Amino acid sequence: MKLFGKQAVYCCKQSVESAVSPEVLKEMQTEQEELKNATKNLKESNTKIRIELAELEKLPPTSEIPIVKNELKQTWIELQSRLEALGSDEADGKKEIVPLKTSEEISKLDQQIEKYKALWLSHRKICKHAIRVIQDVLKDDEAKSNFMEQIGLEDDSVELSSLEQEQTQINATPSLKADTRRHSNTPAGIKRSFSGTIKV
Check whether 51 has a pLDDT greater than 60: yes
Check whether 103 has a pLDDT greater than 70: yes
**What b-and-e string marks burial along 143-177, b requiring 16 or more CB atoms within 10 Å of the CB?**
eeeeeeeeeeeeeeeeebeebbeebeeeeeeeeee
Please tell me the distance from the alpha carbon of residue 69 to that of residue 83, in angstroms, as a whole number: 21
pLDDT of residue 144: 75
- Please report whether residue 5 resides in a domain: no
- Please report whether residue 67 resides in a domain: no
- Please report whether residue 7 resides in a domain: no
Q: Tally the domains of the chain.
A: 2
pLDDT of residue 161: 73
18: pLDDT confidence band, cut at 50, 70 and 90? low
- Please report whether residue 88 resides in a domain: no
60: pLDDT confidence band, cut at 50, 70 and 90? low
- Please report whether residue 145 resides in a domain: yes
User: Do 119 and 65 contact (CB within 8 A), yes or no?
Assistant: yes
Please tell me the distance from the alpha carbon of residue 157 to that of residue 196, in angstroms, as a whole number: 10
- Please report whether residue 49 resides in a domain: yes
How many CB atoms sit inside 10 A of residue 49's CB? 14
Say which range, 3-17, 48-62, 102-116, has the weakest mean pLDDT.
3-17
**Residue range 92-97: average pLDDT?**
57
pLDDT of residue 37: 92
Kindly report whether the global pTM for this prediction surpasses the value 0.75. Answer: no
User: Do 147 and 138 contact (CB within 8 A), yes or no?
Assistant: yes
- Please report whether residue 158 resides in a domain: yes
Say which range, 55-64, 89-98, 172-181, has the weakest mean pLDDT.
172-181
Q: Which residue stretches of 59-151 are H helix?
A: 65-91, 103-137, 141-150
- Please report whether residue 200 resides in a domain: no
118 lies in which domain range? Answer: 106-171
36: pLDDT confidence band, cut at 50, 70 and 90? very high
pLDDT of residue 50: 87
